[in-house]
């Protein structure tokens, strides 16, 4: 049957569209629920964080990557393994700060915004802010406190989407007193 045949190949793409569309519905709902864009951004970041702290386990189980020795290696793993695995894209890593504690992820195309146009009255909405939360949450679970934020966004007319990542500090395990 011709209908059957055409479906198989499409199905992979379809399931990523499921995520894209679901995310879109979520953002739309949040925009209705909250009065200003800042609150929506905050909520998206929070949800992203919650996803990140869980996603890291799935990631470590699936990817077999070991411990990273420095922040540069972490950056590589994020871009080449994690983004590839979950979003099917490989962002490029640029703009390292001289101290090696900041870099940018450049997303040529961002699957989250595949079907999206920002209306004029939501100019301060950071549509994909969930991603920053995911990155922050996931890295926190491997003892790295980072800050992630969007500095460029194709939705706002920039040529590419850029996420700026900044390493803040290593989180030391605080063992309860008496346990070594």
Partner 1 sequence: MADEALFLLLHNEMVSGVYQAAEQGEGENGRCITKLENMGFRVGQGLIERFTKDTARFKDELDIMKFVCKDFWTTVFKKQIDNLRTNHQGIYVLQDNKFRLLTQMSAGKQYLEHASKYLAFTCGLIRGGLSNLGIKSIVTAEVSSMPACKFQVMIQKL
Provide, rounded to whole angstroms, the least separation between the CB of residue 24 and partner 1: 8
Q: Is the dihedral angle over the CA atoms 155, 122, 87, 18 positive or is it negative?
A: negative
> Do the Cβ atoms of 20 and 115 come closer than 8 Å?
yes
CA-based radius of gyration for the chain: 18
Nearest to 110 by CA among 146, 52, 53, 152: 152
Q: Annotate each residue in 122-161 with x if it binds partner 1 (CB under 8 A) or - if it does not, as one string.
A: ----------------------------------------
As a dihedral over the C-alpha atoms of residue 50, residue 52, residue 55, residue 56, rounded to 10 degrees, the angle is -130
- CB 73: neighbour CB atoms within 10 A? 13
Residue with Cβ nearer partner 1 (17 or 101): 17
Structure tokens, 177: 């007193």
Residues 47-76 that bind partner 1 (CB under 8 A): 47, 50-51, 54-55, 58, 62
Binding partner 1 by CB under 8 A: which of 78, 87, 107, 139? Answer: 87
Binding partner 1 by CB under 8 A: which of 77, 86, 140, 149? Answer: 86
Provide, rounded to whole angstroms, the least separation between the CB of residue 151 and partner 1: 24
Residues 7-26 that bind partner 1 (CB under 8 A): 7, 10-12, 14-19, 21-26
């Amino acid at each position: 049957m011709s209908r059957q045949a055409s479906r198989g190949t499409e199905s992979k793409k379809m399931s990523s569209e499921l995520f894209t569309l679901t995310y879109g519905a979520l953002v739309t709902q949040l925009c209705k629920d909250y009065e200003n864009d800042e609150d929506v951004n905050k909520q998206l970041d929070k949800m992203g964080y919650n996803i990140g702290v869980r996603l890291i386990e799935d990631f470590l189980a699936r990817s077999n990557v070991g411990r990273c020795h420095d922040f540069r290696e972490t950056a590589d793993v994020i871009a080449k393994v994690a983004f590839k695995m979950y979003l099917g894209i490989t962002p490029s890593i640029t703009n390292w700060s001289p101290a090696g504690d900041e870099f940018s992820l450049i997303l040529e195309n961002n699957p989250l915004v595949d079907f999206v146009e920002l209306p004029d009255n939501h100019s301060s909405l950071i549509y994909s802010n969930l991603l920053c939360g995911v990155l922050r949450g996931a890295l926190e679970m491997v003892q790295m406190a980072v800050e992630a934020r969007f500095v460029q966004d194709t939705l706002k007319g920039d040529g590419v989407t850029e996420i700026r990542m900044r390493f803040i500090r290593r989180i030391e395990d605080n063992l309860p007193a008496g346990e070594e």
